[in-house]
């Protein structure tokens, strides 16, 4: 695994960090990664390992932020479980999460602080924006097995910042008054000055405006404030989960009409021409080359791949490209996702994955047709392949509950009996059949019998697809 992020891009750093969500370092094989630096092990090992082994930079206590190119400081912070309150309005309480500790930002240099004003203070300069990585602390669990629960960039709101500013001023006043030794965490609201050091006595140091030694202290977010941060991030996380993608429809036109309009402009054009019109740059290498070109077209015409739009998610539309032979029969049958052998045997038809898939799903068929006969597509020139038709399709309920049901029940029964070699074939004359689909013949999936079998999936027969295309006027 590489340190696969762009240190000049906050979102890239956050995205990379979020790969650890609900995982431990061990699960990503990070802990066993060779240490990039030969630092002696020190306290706070999880944070250090994240910095050195996961992000690949040397642990420092330098003045600049950890990701100083973008002004983001990394903080790896423990959570603890509290008793869940299922009816709470507070997501944190419902999940039973709480901050185990304050978040320590940076050691206070009393002499430096003595000369600072809020507007260019060093603590917010370094720590205004944090990359927070909260993990669930568990006693007796090795650090490399601890699970990260919340990972996000975060900075205080403008409102909070006002209070943090006032807290900062409270602390600074004491230093300026020669009362650094009297500072207490209780003085302030969100931003605290906590003691830092093995014992307060040992850590005592000089202060600028008095001869009395003061305990070493660090700026920190108080535990109660960290609980609020956690709630804030969990809410945002929920929002992310349910956030709708951007919408393709606008006030003038519905999304399907927009799609037809774009594709109608290139209907009867060859792939070659389409690639030129849209200035697409793509190697003809992948087996789903035509599909990738279509995705490229949509990125240019609509700004994104179609399945990223709100309407495609809401209406559950799947895009399929089809290549017809000159006689109008698709060259290939149409494959779907793998069968989960263990899941399908516990399903009932009416609520089964496959019935759901076809009842609640539409397809956007983008149909090409070859001018000449061919054995394999790669023999064809791109100018032999013409865009033929674009249509939305969904499976008629009668087909679903008759032929498709037959295929499903036969498959399910055979899996239950442990017979993986006699599924329905295309020659059985139903609308679909079962066929392998994997990396290769050794790509196996677990069965309810505990054995492993080749991965297979449902395929819609090419003849059936032809009928469905022609049914459409």
Contacts to DNA by CB under 7 A: 29, 283, 285-292, 305, 318-321, 323, 329, 331-338, 373, 375-378, 421, 425-427, 433, 435-441, 443, 454-455, 462-463
Q: Do the Cβ atoms of 203 and 195 come closer than 8 Å?
A: yes
In the complex, the smallest distance separating the C-beta of residue 263 from DNA, rounded to whole angstroms, is 14
Beta carbon nearer to DNA, 107 or 446: 446
Q: Which is nearer to DNA, 125 or 443 (CB)?
A: 443
We find the least distance from the C-beta atom of residue 405 to DNA, in angstroms, to be 19
Residue 196 or 454 having the CB closest to DNA: 454
CB of 109 to DNA, least distance (A): 44
- Closest distance to DNA from the beta carbon of 420 (Å): 10
CA distances from 300 to 274, 275, 293, 304, 310 (A): 12, 11, 11, 7, 17
Smallest gap from Cβ 209 to DNA, in A, equals: 56
CB of 13 to DNA, least distance (A): 17
The residues pairing with 366 across neighbouring beta strands, listed in sequence order, are 321, 390
Q: How far is the CB of 12 from DNA (least distance, A)?
A: 14
Q: Which two tokens stand for residue 117?
A: 């004003």
Residue number, 142 or 429, with CB nearest to DNA: 429
Instruction: Select 199 or 442, whichever has its Cβ closest to DNA.
Output: 442
- Beta carbon nearer to DNA, 163 or 315: 315
Least Cβ distance, residue 294 to DNA (angstroms) = 7
Nearer to DNA, 57 or 289 (CB): 289
| Closer Cβ to DNA, 114 or 377, answer by number | 377
């Amino acid at each position: 695994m590489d340190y696969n992020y762009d240190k000049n891009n906050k979102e890239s750093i956050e995205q990379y960090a979020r790969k650890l969500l609900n995982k431990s370092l061990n699960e990503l094989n990070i802990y066993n990664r060779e240490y990039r630096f030969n630092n002696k092990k020190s306290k706070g090992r999880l944070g250090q390992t994240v910095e050195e082994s996961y992000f690949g930079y040397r642990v420092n206590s330098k003045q600049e932020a950890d990701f100083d190119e973008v002004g983001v400081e990394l903080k790896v912070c423990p959570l603890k479980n509290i008793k869940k309150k299922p009816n709470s309005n507070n997501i944190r309480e419902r999940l039973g999460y709480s901050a185990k500790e304050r978040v320590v930002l940076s050691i206070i240099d009393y002499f430096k602080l003595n000369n600072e004003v809020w507007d260019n203070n060093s603590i917010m300069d370094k720590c205004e924006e944090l990359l927070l990585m909260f993990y669930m602390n568990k006693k007796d669990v090795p650090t490399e097995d601890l699970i990260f629960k919340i990972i996000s960039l975060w900075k205080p709101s403008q409102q909070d910042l006002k209070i943090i500013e006032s807290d900062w001023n409270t602390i600074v006043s004491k230093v300026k008054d020669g009362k650094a030794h009297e500072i207490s965490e209780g003085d302030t609201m969100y931003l605290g000055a906590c003691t830092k050091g093995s014992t307060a006595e040992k850590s005592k140091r000089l202060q600028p405006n008095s001869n009395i030694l003061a305990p070493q202290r660090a700026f920190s977010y108080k535990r109660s404030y960290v609980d609020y941060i956690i709630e804030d991030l969990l809410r945002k996380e929920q929002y992310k989960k349910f956030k709708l993608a951007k919408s393709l429809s606008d006030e003038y036109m519905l999304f399907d009409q927009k799609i037809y309009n774009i594709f109608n402009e290139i209907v009867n054009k060859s792939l070659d021409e389409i690639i030129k019109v849209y200035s697409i740059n793509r190697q003809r290498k992948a087996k789903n080359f035509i599909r990738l070109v279509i995705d490229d077209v949509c990125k240019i015409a609509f700004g994104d791949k179609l399945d990223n739009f709100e309407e495609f998610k809401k209406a559950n539309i799947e895009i399929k490209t089809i290549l017809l032979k000159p006689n109008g029969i698709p060259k290939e049958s149409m494959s779907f996702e793998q069968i989960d052998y263990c899941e399908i045997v516990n399903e009932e038809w009416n609520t089964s994955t496959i019935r759901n898939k076809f009842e609640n799903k539409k397809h956007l068929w983008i149909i090409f047709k070859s001018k000449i006969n061919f054995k394999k597509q790669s023999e064809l020139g791109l100018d032999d392949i013409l865009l033929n038709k674009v249509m939305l399709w969904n499976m008629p309920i009668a087909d679903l509950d008759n032929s498709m049901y037959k295929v499903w029940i036969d498959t399910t029964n055979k899996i239950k009996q442990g017979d993986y070699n006699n599924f329905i074939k295309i020659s059985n004359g139903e609308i679909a059949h079962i066929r392998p689909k994997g990396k290769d013949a050794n790509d196996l999936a677990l069965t309810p019998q505990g054995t492993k079998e080749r991965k297979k999936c449902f395929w819609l027969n090419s003849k059936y697809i032809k009928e469905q295309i022609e049914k459409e006027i």
